[in-house]
Amino acid sequence: MDPSMSPEIEAVRDMVIRFMQAEVAPVMDGFEQRREFPRDLVRKAGEAGLYGAVFPESVGGSNMGYVAATVIQEEMGRIDVRFAACNNQQGSTCPSCIYFGGTPEQIQKYVPNLLAGKTIGMMSLTESGGGSDAEGNMKTFARRDGDVYRITGQKMWASIANETDVGVLFAKTDLKVGAKGVSAFIVEPKKYPGWKAQPVEMMGLSSAMRTNVLFLDDFVVPVENRLGEEGDGFKIVMRALQPGRVTVAGKALGVARACFEEAVRYANDRVLRGQPIGRFQMIQSDIAEMATAIEASRALVYKAAQMMDDGLPSNRISAIAKFHASQTAKMCADKAMQIFGGYGLAKEYRVSWLRSYADLFFTGEGSANVQRIMIAEDALGYKVADRHHGKTGLRDIRKDDVGKELKPKA
Ligand SMILES: Cc1cc2nc3c(=O)[nH]c(=O)nc-3n(C[C@H](O)[C@H](O)[C@H](O)COP(=O)(O)OP(=O)(O)OC[C@H]3O[C@@H](n4cnc5c(N)ncnc54)[C@H](O)[C@@H]3O)c2cc1C
């Protein structure tokens, strides 16, 4: 319960907590041990509305906005971040790319099923040449062949690509240019040959929801599945990654809180020299630093989410929120592990793997250095972080879309 939030938002929080505690917490360890993707649970989460908060009702969303979406991510991240590993694929970057860059027909065909958890999503931009310079290092090529594209190449870190029904994949249609050579495609790997996803063994991350190397060999995409025009891909993904940063920041905040809660409980339970270790001042110092950083992150993350709900320029504040929240998660994971002593390294204690998620949020969805660069270049007057606000020519998601017909792009 956060007294600064409205009763409606706190009702959303209650709903997520109830869902996660009743449906996910009792079974997620089993999915992890069996290395099994929890398809039915994702569908139930979709039915409960956990993926559609920012989308208008006309496409199956609930139009509650980014503050609500961020609360959902925060509580999912706090209660079981492993299950939250597919949130971006179901409710953020994947459907956002389709919504921002697609035709009304593409949106109606694909977005409602993703939000409902009926189809499993994916968003694949990164290649092994380097995620921070995705457009410069992209080698995957989409060759036009009549009514289809044939895509050949190798993508890296394609999360859930081994399970996906419908995803968004970025490939070059012109290898000679950088960002302007990138195009976006809605892919359906179960319908067409040439797609092989090979899960990567990761340290401390979910074994049920996995990330993959993706091998594409003349993989077919109908021309009607291209998003926008050839060369629009980079614009679309950059637009989708901005709100993605805020929701990832919410998830990082949830991980920071989970570490804090574990640390507080353990500090009260663990008795050394005749007293709980929470009575030691150096442990108290760690607890105080964690509590303070979490409050600061919360203020930043919800400021960014509120500015997005208000339609204000929010690229800069999103970068700041994600940078701070992922740093906070890393710091809290580190301190929680120290408070647990040797037990913090044992798999049965979740602080051991929460740390890997903190590291992931530090790197994924734009690394910490990339956020640093954006924040600093804006401050130094080299590049205004919000220079593209309202000028991308892409469809927007606004709270006032409620009840309205889906409009073609501006
Ligand atoms: C578990 C996992 C899941 C993922 N899921 C997806 C997914 O579903 N889809 C997808 O497309 N991608 C995904 N990613 C990729 C992720 O977004 C990238 O890892 C991220 O963009 C960083 O790219 P990189 O790992 O290639 O690091 P690099 O880009 O090689 O960066 C290496 C280091 O250099 C730093 N750096 C980069 N540029 C600069 C600079 N100009 N100045 C100073 N330092 C710099 C970075 O901060 C980093 O510390 C996933 C990654 C992981 C680990």
Q: Where along the chain do the CATH 2.40.110.10 domains lie? A: 123-231
Residue 137 CA to ligand 1 center (angstroms) comes to 12
Q: Which atom of ligand 1 is nearest to the CA of 170?
A: 11
Model pLDDT, residue 404: 53
DSSP tag of 216: E
Helices of type H across 20-175:
28-34, 39-47, 66-80, 87-91, 93-101, 104-115, 134-137
Residue 14 CA to ligand 1 center (angstroms) comes to 34
Check if 289 is active-site.
no
Q: 130 CB under 6 A from ligand 1?
A: yes
Spatial separation of the C-alpha atoms in residues 119 and 165, rounded to whole Å: 6
Q: 79 CB under 6 A from ligand 1?
A: no
Residue 216 tokens read as 């594409």
Q: Where along the chain do the CATH 1.20.140.10 domains lie? A: 235-385+396-400
Report phi then psi at 187, rounded to 5: -110, 145
Q: 367 CB under 6 A from ligand 1?
A: yes
> Left (φ > 0), alpha (ψ -120 to 50) or beta: where does 171 sit?
beta
**3-state class of 197 per DSSP?**
strand
Shortest-distance Cα residue to atom 17 of ligand 1: 364
Shortest-distance Cα residue to atom 2 of ligand 1: 157
Mutate to test the pocket of ligand 1, among 127, 132, 163 (most ligand atoms within 8 A of CB): 132
Residue 183 tokens read as 């195009």
Spatial separation of the C-alpha atoms in residues 174 and 46, rounded to whole Å: 37
Q: How many CB atoms lie within 10 A of CB 150?
A: 18
Q: Which atom of ligand 1 is nearest to the CA of 132?
A: 29
Q: Which atom of ligand 1 is nearest to the CA of 368?
A: 47
Spatial separation of the C-alpha atoms in residues 372 and 132, rounded to whole Å: 13
Q: How many CB atoms lie within 10 A of CB 188?
A: 18
Model pLDDT, residue 410: 45
Residues 6 or more apart whose CB falls under 8 angstroms from that of 334 comprise 355
Q: 131 CB under 6 A from ligand 1?
A: yes
Q: 364 CB under 6 A from ligand 1?
A: yes
Looking at this protein, which amino acid is placed at residue 397?
I
Q: How far is CA 359 from the centre of its chain?
A: 14
Residue 336 CA to ligand 1 center (angstroms) comes to 26
Model pLDDT, residue 405: 53
Q: 292 CB under 6 A from ligand 1?
A: no
Residue 357 CA to ligand 1 center (angstroms) comes to 14
Helices of type H across 153-223:
none
Q: Which atom of ligand 1 is nearest to the CA of 366?
A: 21
CATH fold label, 123-231: Butyryl-CoA Dehydrogenase, subunit A; domain 2 (2.40.110)
Report phi then psi at 260, rounded to 5: -65, -45
Spatial separation of the C-alpha atoms in residues 10 and 105, rounded to whole Å: 35
Q: 363 CB under 6 A from ligand 1?
A: yes
pLDDT in tens, the chain (410 residues): 777 899 999 999 999 999 999 999 999 999 999 999 999 999 999 999 999 999 999 999 999 999 999 999 999 999 999 999 999 999 999 999 999 999 999 999 999 999 999 999 999 999 999 888 888 889 999 999 999 999 999 999 999 999 999 999 999 999 999 999 999 999 999 999 999 999 999 999 999 999 999 999 999 999 999 999 999 999 999 999 988 899 899 999 999 999 999 999 999 999 999 999 999 999 999 999 999 999 999 999 999 999 999 999 999 999 999 999 999 999 999 999 999 999 999 988 999 999 999 999 999 888 999 999 999 999 999 999 999 888 888 887 755 454 455 555 54
Q: Using the structure block, give the residue that is written with the tokens 């929801």.
A: 209
Q: 162 CB under 6 A from ligand 1?
A: no
Spatial separation of the C-alpha atoms in residues 341 and 318, rounded to whole Å: 34
187 beta partners: 167
Residue 9 CA to ligand 1 center (angstroms) comes to 33
Q: 140 CB under 6 A from ligand 1?
A: no
Spatial separation of the C-alpha atoms in residues 348 and 360, rounded to whole Å: 20
Q: Which of the listed CATH numbers 1.10.15.40, 2.130.10.10, 3.30.1330.10, 1.20.140.10 matches domain 235-385+396-400?
A: 1.20.140.10
Q: Would you report the helix, strand and coil content of the chain in percent, each value rounded to 5?
A: 55, 10, 35
Q: Which of 74, 127, 188, 365 is catalytic?
A: 365
The answer to whether 248 and 322 have CB atoms below 8 angstroms apart is: yes
Rounded to the nearest 5 degrees, what angle is found at the Cα of 382, between the Cα atoms of 380 and 387? 110
Q: Where along the chain do the CATH 1.10.540.10 domains lie? A: 7-115
Q: 374 CB under 6 A from ligand 1?
A: no
Residue 46 tokens read as 């979709």
Residue 359 tokens read as 């590291």
CATH fold label, 7-115: Butyryl-Coa Dehydrogenase, subunit A; domain 1 (1.10.540)
Q: If 0-12 CB within 10 Å is exposed, 13-18 middle and 19+ buried, where does residue 275 land? A: exposed
Model pLDDT, residue 116: 98
Q: Which atom of ligand 1 is nearest to the CA of 89?
A: 8
Helices of type H across 232-309:
233-269, 281-309
